[in-house]
Amino acid sequence: MGALGRWLEEEGIATTQISLVREHTAAISPPRALWVSFIIGRPLGVPGDPAFQRRVLLAALRLITQDIKAYYHEAATAQPGARVAHAAREWFWRDTTAGKAFMQLREACLASSNEAVRRFGGRSLIPLAVAPRPKDAP
C-alpha cells in the first residue's frame, strides 16, 4: 500500500496507511503511516471491538488532518510578506477550501451518534480559538 499511497499523493490525494510491520513501513517510506502492534491480518485490532477499531481509524485520520493543516501553514508562511501566526491561522480557517472542509467535517462529527467521533470532531479538527461557538453560547 505504501507505493500506491505515494502515487496517490503525487496525484494530489492525501493518504495514510495502517502498518503492521514496522520494518516494511520504514523500507517503503510511505507519506504517512500509523504503525500498530497487532497480529498480521488484524490492522484494527481484535474482531468484535468496534470502539477500539474506531479509535485506530481516528488516529489514522488524525495523521492526515495534521499534515494537511501543516502544509497550508507552511505554504502561507513561506510566501513573501509572510503572515504572522495569527493572520495565517485566520486565513487558513476562514479563507481556504481546506479550512472550510474541516469546518464541515467538524459539524458532521459533532452530529454523529458515536461519542468517539463527536470527541474527535470537537477536539482534534479545529482549534478552539477559531471553532464556531454553539448557537446558545453568549
The total domain count for the chain is 2
Per-residue exposure over 95-104, b if at least 16 CB sit within 10 Å of its own CB, e if not: eeeebeebbe
* pLDDT at position 134: 65
Torsion (CA) 86, 124, 132, 89 in degrees, nearest 10: 20
pLDDT at 43 over 80: yes
Is 84 found in the same domain as 30? Answer: no
Is 134 found in the same domain as 76? Answer: yes
Q: How confident is the model over 19-47, as a mean pLDDT? A: 90
Is 39 found in the same domain as 62? Answer: no
Is 20 found in the same domain as 57? Answer: no
Assigned C-alpha cell, 7 = 502515487
Is 55 found in the same domain as 123? Answer: yes
Is 137 found in the same domain as 75? Answer: yes
Is 28 found in the same domain as 55? Answer: no
Is 65 found in the same domain as 133? Answer: yes
Chain-centre distance of CA 7, in angstroms? Answer: 19
Summarize pLDDT for 79-127 with one digit per residue, the tens: 777 667 777 778 888 888 888 998 999 999 999 998 888 888 888 888 8
Phi and psi for 95 in degrees, rounded to 5?
A: -115, -10
Is 127 found in the same domain as 90? Answer: yes
Is 56 found in the same domain as 38? Answer: no
pLDDT at 53 over 90: yes
Torsion (CA) 43, 22, 58, 48 in degrees, nearest 10: 20
Contact by Cβ (8 Å): 121, 129: no
Q: How confident is the model over 10-26, as a mean pLDDT? A: 86
Contact by Cβ (8 Å): 34, 17: yes
Task: Give residue 87's domain range.
Answer: 50-138
Q: How confident is the model over 32-37, as a mean pLDDT? A: 90
Is 77 found in the same domain as 138? Answer: yes
